[in-house]
Amino acid sequence: GQSLEQPSEVTAVEGAIVQINCTYQTSGFYGLSWYQQHDGGAPTFLSYNALDGLEETGRFSSFLSRSDSYGYLLLQELQMKDSASYFCAVTYNQGGKLIFGQGTELSVKP
Amino acid sequence: KAGVTQTPRYLIKTRGQQVTLSCSPISGHRSVSWYQQTPGQGLQFLFEYFSETQRNKGNFPGRFSGRQFSNSRSEMNVSTLELGDSALYLCASSLESRVSGGYTFGSGTRLTVV
């Protein structure tokens, strides 16, 4: 089946770096995306990896290794506003379909 | 540029009733997808419409249906509501149905079934 595994919770301190991992048991997908969601609001697109390697967007970076069925989101210079839920998701070639992980709740402490 | 607009924001319905939720995508976006979010099951794909055609469907019973209009606005309908249908329903839009992950989500409709 299609499943993505993420840690349920991660805690880090302001200014630090945190990595949120996503391992998956699926194939045939276009790429791996990351979304941020604050308190049940609208998920916001953060990053996308179609190819293996690192993608950097400001303080956020995302990595994908298809051979290891693994990806991660790296958040640098953590700020209090980064406290939110983070979801990895795969995009399938059927189009318009995202399969999400269960999400990781990030708590940033002062 | 306006974002994805979902109406209503909150809804309370009684078991057995039906409900219709609306989603207006970003102007120019032709793909609209719907998701159900619950604490237990997380974010689950319902269906996707592209140019008025349902392109893909998730594993939900036939009580869940949708449609897309020529202006790309979409509606989803849930008939014979059950308590377990209580959830945040999110729609997402994009220019194309196969896009580099950059879907824009609305703030959702929170449906409570009592």
Instruction: Using an 8 Å CB-CB cutoff, list chain B residues near A48.
Output: 100-102
Reply yes or no on whether the pLDDT at B37 is more than 60.
yes
What is residue A30's predicted lDDT score, i.e. its pLDDT?
81
Provide the token pair at A96: 């318009």
Shortest CB distance from A99 goes to which of B45, B102, B103? Answer: B45
pLDDT score recorded for residue A2: 72
pLDDT band at B101 (very low <50, low <70, confident <90, very high): low
CA distance B107 to chain A (A): 4
- Quote the CA–CA distance of B59 and B65 in Å, as a whole number: 12
Residue for token pair 């308590």 = B83
Average predicted confidence (pLDDT) for chain B: 93
Lowest-pLDDT choice from A30-39, A87-96, B45-54: A87-96
> Going by C-beta distance under 8 Å and a sequence separation of 6 or more, which residues neighbour residue A43?
A35, A36, A37, A87, B43, B90, B92, B105
Coil/strand/helix, residue B83: helix
Give Cβ neighbours of residue B89 (< 8 Å, ≥ 6 apart): B6, B21, B34, B35, B36, B37, B46, B76, B108, B109, B110, B111
Cβ atoms of B41 and B58 within 8 Å: the answer is no
DSSP A2-15: -EEE--SEEEEETT
Band (A40; pLDDT cuts 50, 70, 90): confident
Decide if pLDDT at B98 tops 60.
no
Distances (CA, A) of B76 to B34, B89, B93: 8, 9, 14
Query: Which of A26-40, A66-80, A84-98, B3-17 bottoms out in mean pLDDT, i.e. has the lowest?
Result: A84-98
Residues of B with CB under 8 A from a CB of A: 3-4, 31, 33, 35, 37, 42-45, 48-50, 55-56, 58, 88, 90, 92, 94, 96-108, 110
According to DSSP, residue A40 is labeled T
The whole-angstrom separation of Cα B28 and Cα A97 is 19
SS3 category, B91? strand
Q: What is the DSSP letter of A76?
A: -
